[in-house]
Amino acid sequence: MSLPDLLNSDNHQTECTESRPNSSPENNERDDLRGSENEDENTDSVTVNGGQEDKTSQLTNFWRDILCSPRFIAAPMVDHSELAFRMMCREHCGMHLCYTPMLHAANFARDARYRSENFVTCSADRPLIVQFCANDAETLVEAVGHLPKDGYDCVDINLGCPQTIARRGRYGSFLMEEWDVIRSMVS
């Protein structure tokens, strides 16, 4: 099974509601200043070709229906993006979408202890993007296969980490010269 097939299953979808589950009056005021969540519903970006949506439509629908059109996003941060921090960001800072810390796909795929210590979530921690660093498609798919089916909404591949450890591990921004590796992980 490929990564796109694994992620397209219906087992891990978030239900979007009109009001955000962790919204406060202050956060709602900020949202109102940015405009309506449904502003772009009248656009003609949804095209159907032979019963299948085009890529733009798929991404638009994913952003709206799965990730709930987030405006405030807590990106992954080393030593900060664990569950307690994500929940604090959701509750007190009005974050609509959070990322996990970067997880090493090889460790996650092969080590149950690593999984239990490094991937902790709860039902209120949604929508959630799980970030992996990887340099091998099979290992990445194996790692994603160990995620609980209803515990995440999206998988992100770290292609931006500039740290020395990423160079040694051959991931992050150091994969940007290896287009074949990247292509194999996303197809």
Q: Where in the sequence numbering do the catalytic residues fall?
A: 161
Contact 126, 69 (CB under 8 A): no
In the block, tokens 């092969």 appear at: 110
CA of residue 1 relative to chain centroid, distance? 19
E strand or H helix at 109 = helix 105-110
| Cα angle, residue 14 at apex, residues 17 and 64 outer, rounded to 5° | 65
DSSP character for 41?
G
